[in-house]
Amino acid sequence: MMRINKCLPLWQEITVVLLIKMALLFVIWKCFFSEPVAKHMLVPQPMVAERFLGTASSPLTK
């Protein structure tokens, strides 16, 4: 295994690598998951509930 810098103790190397990973995950999250692609494409709440809960949103007919 190749070490980045032999002057740093292992706990500091691990801390640096974890900080870099956290920064990269934050950038990926901001780029891909922070906002919807098209803000005008909103799904009505009853339709979402119908899909997830399996309930009918239309009134019962007699």
Q: How does DSSP assign 15-44, residue by residue?
A: HHHHHHHHHHHHHHHHHHTSS-S-TT-PPP
| 23 occurs within a structural domain | yes
| 50 occurs within a structural domain | no
Q: What is the pLDDT of residue 32?
A: 84
The type of residue at 34 is S
> For 7-62, what is each residue's pLDDT tens digit?
889 999 999 999 999 999 999 999 888 776 666 777 788 888 888 887 665 555 55
Q: Which domain holds residue 23?
A: 10-36
Give the pLDDT band of residue 1 (cuts 50, 70, 90): low
Q: Cα(48)–Cα(62) distance, rounded to whole angstroms? A: 25
pTM: predicted TM-score of the whole model, two decimal places: 0.49
Total domains in the fold of the chain: 1
Q: Cα(54)–Cα(5) distance, rounded to whole angstroms? A: 57
Q: What is the pLDDT of residue 45?
A: 83
Q: CA 20 → CA 1, 27, 32, 34, distances in Å?
A: 19, 11, 18, 20
